[in-house]
Structure 1
Amino acid sequence: MDDLLTPAQRSWFDAAVTFAKSELVDDVASRDLEGTFYRDGYRRCGSLGLLGLPVPREYGGQGDDLLSAVAAVEGLGYGCPDTGLVFALGASLWTVTMPILAFGTEEQRRRWLPGLCDGTLFGANAASEPEAGSDIFSMSTKAEKRGDRWVLNGRKIWITGGAIADVLVVFATVDPGKGALGLTSFIVPKDTPGLRIVREIPKLGMRTAPMAELAFEDCELPLDAILEREGRGARVFNAALEWERGAILAGTLGTMRRQLERCVEHARKRKQFGQAISKFQAVSHRIVDMKLRLETCRPLVYGFARTKARGEDATLEAAMAKLHVSECFVANSLDAVRLFGAAGYVCENGIERDLRDSVGGVIFSGTNDIQRNIIAARLRL
């Protein structure tokens, strides 16, 4: 890692690891079973400054760089076994905090960013719909201007943190006939009349990052609730997705590292047929593959962060990072279950939870098939 980070950036990784091991230790197995978000842990992350690392100090952040933020999230993933918490934290940071910072008015920044940075507010991004997942330009949620108000009507689904969010960035169309030019983004507080939580959605993994379906039923907003400008929602959406795709799996790097260390330790200690199972080539080669996947993932995530920090388009880098890291996490998690055998299959050791948590990575932020389409397009194929 040292060749990827400056000493200052590395210090954020170390601080996050130390913090997570001391402050984010609880009964994650029970919360996973119940599907409970660790809100107190989220607030603690805010008190350390992890939620606002790339946000200027004037808005409540740390004023640090993007690589420091990525390093800190990786450290959280290494020190904290609650993958859902780390994922939800990233979703709020990359798809709500950063868009408000980039596209918000001065008033919007000063209203929302301090709370998002210190952990008193949690943000959710509401774009997906039952009939419009990756095809955002086909969304049916409508925004209509009525006098001095905007009125939203429609449904959103698969919303990470939708049931626990204090503020949402919501996408709607002002005119379906305009396609991308009709898409508009809004900042919606949770207590806005007409915003209703339809249901929380049980899922395979990352159960501690609650998912919800939301309804907007004559949901009235002031005219200044628009984020960016009318008809510029696609710009906000694409930017949020780029941050999310490139950086939200930074925590997974830490999880994979911790996972690998557990497998190495187990392989050295576990005896079968009179010797440590690490001496069997089938086992040692599996661990080698896990190590190789981890080390090929890290440069992609930090490469994205460097490209983005330079102010350059990072669409390609984000798609490659999301695709490769998510696929490798699934492969490593399955290898870990195989290596631990029955002990990996049962719930008490947390090995199977990594496997369940890993599967979502090939779907969220645009499925991996979508990522391959993006990469192919950039190669002019």
Structure 2
Amino acid sequence: MIHLPMAPVSPEVAGLCDWARSAGDMLAAGPGDPAQDLRRRFAEAGKIGLTGLTVPEEYDGAGLSATSATAITEALGESVADAGFVFSLAAHLYACVAPIAEFGTAEQKSRWLPGLADGSLIGAFAVTEADAGSDIMSMRTSATQHDDGWHIAGTKSMITNAPVADVVLAVVRTGEGRSFFNTSAFVVERGTEGFDAGAPYDKRVLATSLLGDLWFDDCRVAERDMLGSRGSGGAVFSTGMSWERVCLFGLYLGQLRRVLRETADYLEGRTQFGQPIARFQAVSHEIAECAVALESARSLLFRAAAAMDAGATDAGVLGDMAKVTVSRTAVDIGLRCVQLQGGHGVTSSTAVDVLLDALPSRVFSGSNEVQIGNIARSIGAAKPTRAAG
């Protein structure tokens, strides 16, 4: 059994992490319809407070800091073998709930946060479109103002939780030109006329996290459904991404801690040439290299979370750096653990699942290539460029 350092958190939060780890069996995937099972698991998570980690206490949540939320997400990633569910839970908490908690009026928060906190409502964050991924300013979904409120038209694509979401935070265009000030955010509820969700995508990675499209066909929402003011879509988007790029990635730290332990245990039990293969220096050094890489990524992620909590001016660039580093480390360690286990790694181990589930981490929340560009500009290594159009 290898021993890995614990999260740099207070004893109180460490106790919450132990409690989160104990929820692994309760949150395991079940048989039957994937959408119904995801709802069941959200309800179970709600019973023990996991769906309200970022909801303020006055709206029945835990009101946790970014550091504490990251630590608990790591604990869940370590205890829940199914990364897909933890991913869906994190998308709900960090991309949907956190912006509503920050930008919502008292009426809006009273209306949505209690249900999001207790797991009876599932949240989603809708920004991406088929032709507006990394180039988010190419989004076409728009809202036009009328006497009865706003009419939204367009399609959002590849949205986590879309097939089951009860509350969707959508960023859409409300003006002309390539500027975030020409976008606004609306909260759209399931059942709203003109609003519908597509069937879950068929995908191999993060399989139990349901991904789908959202259709807005002259979808009519009231003025009171706008989150923040007109033109604040960029601020809402940035808040959701800031929380997601840091706290959600605790999932991968937890997954890596678990798979590294499982790999070390397998290597200790596998005998070749008359001794456990863990005793060969090349093998033990490979485990040590994985541990070094994991703790390095972990330190950067928790530093980014602490910067968020402090409102530090470098919180954004630290979040970008952490996202890139953790995603690279997740793929690297996943691949190393598969390789270390040989045939068992590609046929029977959880290492290959960890590797596959890590692959999209290089793409979502802003692709690593985009993040590197952002980092270059933040540190003064590159000058801002103006996109055509």
TM-score, reference length from structure 1: 0.94
Q: Tell me which amino acid in the other structure corresponds to 2:79.
A: G
Find the counterpart in structure 1 of residue 386 from structure 2: none
Q: Tell me which amino acid in the other structure corresponds to 1:14.
A: D
Q: Secondary structure at the match of 1:23?
A: coil
Q: How far off is 1:54 after superposition? A: 3.4
| Aligned ranges 1:84-233 → 2 under 5 Å | 84-177=84-177, 179-233=179-233
> Using the alignment, how far apart are the partners of 1:110 and 1:130 within structure 2?
34
> Using the alignment, how far apart are the partners of 2:232 and 2:68 within structure 1?
30
Find the counterpart in structure 2 of residue 8 from structure 1: 12
Does 2:324 align with 1:328?
Answer: no
Q: How far off is 1:36 after superposition? A: 7.8
> Using the alignment, how far apart are the partners of 2:352 and 2:179 within structure 1?
43
How many percent identity over aligned positions? 35
Alignment RMSD, CA only?
Answer: 1.9
> Using the alignment, how far apart are the partners of 2:193 and 2:207 within structure 1?
28
Cα deviation digits, residues 182-204 of structure 1 (max 9, x gap): 10100000111111223422223
Q: How far off is 1:39 after superposition? A: 2.7
Cα deviation digits, residues 27-82 of structure 1 (max 9, x gap): 6xx78x97985332222222211222232221111233332222111111111101
Q: Tell me which amino acid in the other structure corresponds to 1:224.
A: R
5+ residue gaps, structure 2, are 382-389
TM-score, reference length from structure 2: 0.92
User: Closer, same or farther in 2 for the Cα pair 1:36/1:202, shift >3 Å?
Assistant: farther
> Using the alignment, how far apart are the partners of 2:28 and 2:124 within structure 1?
25
Find the counterpart in structure 2 of residue 345 from structure 1: 346
> Using the alignment, how far apart are the partners of 2:263 and 2:159 within structure 1?
33
Q: Tell me which amino acid in the other structure corresponds to 1:338.
A: Q
User: Closer, same or farther in 2 for the Cα pair 1:9/1:338, shift >3 Å?
Assistant: same
Find the counterpart in structure 2 of residue 24 from structure 1: 27
Task: Give the total of aligned pairs.
Answer: 376
- 8 Å contact from structure 2 (residues 77, 251) kept in 1: yes
Cα deviation digits, residues 145-171 of structure 1 (max 9, x gap): 111221000111110111111110001
Q: Tell me which amino acid in the other structure corresponds to 1:170.
A: A
Deviates more, 1:57-66 or 1:138-147: 57-66
Q: How far off is 1:3 after superposition? A: 6.9
Deviates more, 1:66-75 or 1:146-155: 66-75
Q: Tell me which amino acid in the other structure corresponds to 1:73.
A: T
Q: Secondary structure at the match of 1:38?
A: helix
Find the counterpart in structure 2 of residue 319 from structure 1: 320
> Using the alignment, how far apart are the partners of 1:335 and 1:2 within structure 2?
22
Q: Secondary structure at the match of 1:117?
A: helix
Cα deviation digits, residues 308-345 of structure 1 (max 9, x gap): 11123421111111101111011111111112222221
Cα deviation digits, residues 122-153 of structure 1 (max 9, x gap): 10000001111122222111101111221000
User: Closer, same or farther in 2 for the Cα pair 1:143/1:335, shift >3 Å?
Assistant: same
Q: How far off is 1:26 after superposition? A: 4.7
User: Closer, same or farther in 2 for the Cα pair 1:370/1:35, shift >3 Å?
Assistant: farther
> Using the alignment, how far apart are the partners of 1:268 and 1:289 within structure 2?
17
Q: How far off is 1:279 after superposition? A: 2.2
Q: How far off is 1:362 after superposition? A: 0.3
Q: Secondary structure at the match of 1:191?
A: coil
Q: Tell me which amino acid in the other structure corresponds to 2:15.
A: S
> Using the alignment, how far apart are the partners of 2:202 and 2:28 within structure 1?
24
User: Closer, same or farther in 2 for the Cα pair 1:312/1:201, shift >3 Å?
Assistant: same
User: Closer, same or farther in 2 for the Cα pair 1:188/1:336, shift >3 Å?
Assistant: same
Q: How far off is 1:252 after superposition? A: 1.2
> Using the alignment, how far apart are the partners of 1:34 and 1:70 within structure 2?
26
Cα deviation digits, residues 205-255 of structure 1 (max 9, x gap): 001101101211111111111000111111110111111111111121111
- 8 Å contact from structure 2 (residues 66, 247) kept in 1: no
> Using the alignment, how far apart are the partners of 1:2 and 1:205 within structure 2?
28
User: Closer, same or farther in 2 for the Cα pair 1:7/1:122, shift >3 Å?
Assistant: same
Q: Secondary structure at the match of 1:283?
A: helix
